[in-house]
Amino acid sequence: DGDWHDLIALDRLETGWVTPAMLGARRLAVYDTPSGIHVSLALCNHGGADLCDGYLDRHLIECPLHQGAFDVRDGRPLGAPATRPMIVFPARIRDGMVQVRMP
């Protein structure tokens, strides 16, 4: 188990949408969804586009470049050309902060 890190204040998230946040040198995507906050790497694993510029529909993030899609809860690919799961991190809320656990 890794450590929990403060990522971004909850009130800085765009409601029902995806917000970028940096953790050190890593750019992450923070998703505000009907089941709570989920976090992934921001880079799409298909062609390196920024998922923070994508389109979020409930639990589905659609990549802005080739419209590949992933489930933000577990990272599984939902639509071509995405074929590999995206990297997701456990997230929680503490004292108004989104925290992520890094391996």
The binding site for ligand FES (CB under 6 A) comprises 44, 46-49, 63, 65-66, 68, 81-82
What is the closest distance, in whole angstroms, from the C-beta atom of residue 66 to ligand FES in the complex?
A: 3
- State which residue, 10 or 60, has the beta carbon closest to ligand FES: 60
CB of 69 closer than 8 Å to CB of 60:
yes
- State which residue, 59 or 101, has the beta carbon closest to ligand FES: 59
What is the closest distance, in whole angstroms, from the C-beta atom of residue 97 to ligand FES in the complex?
A: 29
What is the closest distance, in whole angstroms, from the C-beta atom of residue 9 to ligand FES in the complex?
A: 28
- State which residue, 4 or 55, has the beta carbon closest to ligand FES: 55
Cα separation, 48 vs 6, whole angstroms: 25
Amino acid identity of residue 80, one-letter, is A
CB of 7 closer than 8 Å to CB of 45:
no
Cα separation, 86 vs 61, whole angstroms: 11
- State which residue, 81 or 90, has the beta carbon closest to ligand FES: 81
CB of 28 closer than 8 Å to CB of 100:
yes
